[in-house]
Amino acid sequence: MNKKIFVAAVAAMSLASGFGAVTLTPKSQSTVQASTMPKHFGYWLNPHKVIVTKNTKLNMLVYADKNSSAKSVLATKVLKRGRVVSIYRGSNGHSFWTFNPVPKDFKLTDQSLSKKYSWHPWVANKKLNDTSWFKIYTKKSAKKYRKIIKKAKKGIAPLVVPNNTQLKKIPTKDLPQSTIDYLNNPSVSLSDKYDKANSISNTDQREKAFDIVSKWLDKEETQTPY
- When pLDDT is cut at 50, 70 and 90, the band that residue 223 belongs to is low
pLDDT at 93: 63
The amino acid that residue 187 corresponds to is: S
Residues 159 and 191 in one domain: no
* 20 domain residue, yes or no: no
- When pLDDT is cut at 50, 70 and 90, the band that residue 21 belongs to is very low
For residues 166 and 197, give the distance between their C-alpha atoms in angstroms, rounded to a whole number: 33
Report which listed range, 53-57, 130-134, 172-176, 213-217, is most confident: 53-57
The residue among 171, 190, 136 whose CA lies nearest residue 8 is 190
DSSP 166: P
Share of the chain above pLDDT 90, in %: 43
On the question of pLDDT at 12 being above 50, the answer is no
| pLDDT tens, position by position, 79-105 | 999 999 999 987 666 578 999 999 999
For residues 73 and 62, give the distance between their C-alpha atoms in angstroms, rounded to a whole number: 6
* 186 domain residue, yes or no: yes
Q: Are 150 and 178 in contact (CB under 8 A)?
A: no
Instruction: Please give the mean pLDDT across all residues of the chain.
Output: 79
| pLDDT tens, position by position, 176-211 | 999 999 999 999 998 898 888 878 877 778 878 888
Residues 100 and 54 in one domain: yes
Q: Are 58 and 125 in contact (CB under 8 A)?
A: yes
Query: What secondary structure does DSSP assign to 12-58, as a single string?
Result: HHHHHTT---SSPPPSSSS---TT----SSGGGGS-EEEEE-S-EEE
pLDDT at 40: 57
* Number of other CB atoms surrounding residue 93 within 10 Å: 23
Considering the entire predicted model, what is its pTM? 0.69
Report which listed range, 138-142, 193-197, 212-216, is most confident: 138-142
The amino acid that residue 40 corresponds to is: H
- When pLDDT is cut at 50, 70 and 90, the band that residue 18 belongs to is very low
Report which listed range, 18-27, 134-143, 192-201, is most confident: 134-143
pLDDT at 47: 93
For residues 204 and 173, give the distance between their C-alpha atoms in angstroms, rounded to a whole number: 6
Indicate the number of domains in the chain.
Answer: 2
The amino acid that residue 160 corresponds to is: V
pLDDT at 207: 79
Domain of residue 112: give its range.
34-169
Residues 195 and 126 in one domain: no
Q: Are 35 and 50 in contact (CB under 8 A)?
A: no
Residues 103 and 148 in one domain: yes
**Average pLDDT of the segment spanning 207-217:** 84
Residues 158 and 193 in one domain: no
Residues 163 and 207 in one domain: no
Residues 164 and 113 in one domain: yes
Residues 160 and 117 in one domain: yes
Residues 85 and 163 in one domain: yes
Number of H helices, E strands in the chain: 7, 8
Share of the chain above pLDDT 70, in %: 77
* 211 domain residue, yes or no: yes
